[in-house]
Amino acid sequence: MDMTEHIYSVLVVSSAEKFVRPMLEMLPEKMFDPIMTATDAAQARRKLLENDFDIVIVNSPLKDEFGTRLALDICSKSSAGVLLFVKAEHYADITAKVMPYGVLTISKPTSSSMIAQSVQMLCSTRERLRIMEKKNASVEEKIEEIRIVNRAKCLLIEQLKMTESEAHRYIEKQAMDRCVTRRVIAENIILTYK
């Protein structure tokens, strides 16, 4: 397993400047970079369209919405970890609403150690998601290779009247003889007979 330290990109969304400054001070550049800010949900959505963020911190309420919809939208459209700050009187209701979607909620006011722990938790979760994304990409690549090889086999069966096993052996042998992948051979067959 790769034990290198990762640098996480962060978006801090808050209408209150008094929230932003201390939050930025808590995020050391050696671990968090770039760190961007937005003052409302609309500005945050624009930044989310332009950039991929590992962590999004939302301090509710925002100028143009409470912040819950933004947090849910981020979770549904990206793999970013979302930390939502809500006033204590709203904590139970909001947490019940957003927790099933993967939003981590913190009650305000809170301590800097609680914030640091929550951000670390989001970093850990983001790493698990990275691993899952890599595995998923690998599986998708293998499925795509199988599709291409099967399409090439069908062409060999149609064009050269081979059986399925003969077509399979032909592709395997060509790949070994030429020291290339089965996919490369299959793609060449498709180009030849299409």
The pLDDT confidence band at residue 188, using thresholds 50, 70 and 90, is: very high
The predicted model gives 64-77 an average pLDDT of 93
In this structure, what token pair is assigned to residue 167?
A: 């077509």
**Distance of alpha carbon 127 from alpha carbon 105, whole angstroms:** 19
Residue carrying the six token digits 């968090």: 32
Task: Calculate the average pLDDT of the chain.
Answer: 90
Q: Tell me: the pLDDT tens digits for 90-114?
A: 999 999 999 999 899 999 988 888 8
Query: With bands split at pLDDT 50, 70 and 90, how would you rate the model's confidence at 50?
Result: very high
Considering the entire predicted model, what is its pTM? 0.70
Report how many helices (DSSP H) and strands (DSSP E) the chain contains, helices first. Answer: 7, 5
Q: Flag whether pLDDT at 9 surpasses 50.
A: yes
- For residue 10, give the nearest of 48, 47, 55, 72 by alpha carbon: 55
Backbone torsions φ then ψ of 14, nearest 5 degrees: -160, 140
Residue 39: phi and psi, rounded to 5, are -100, -10
pLDDT tens per residue across span 115-130: 888 888 888 888 888 7
Distance (Å, whole) CA 191 – CA 22: 59
pLDDT of residue 30: 86
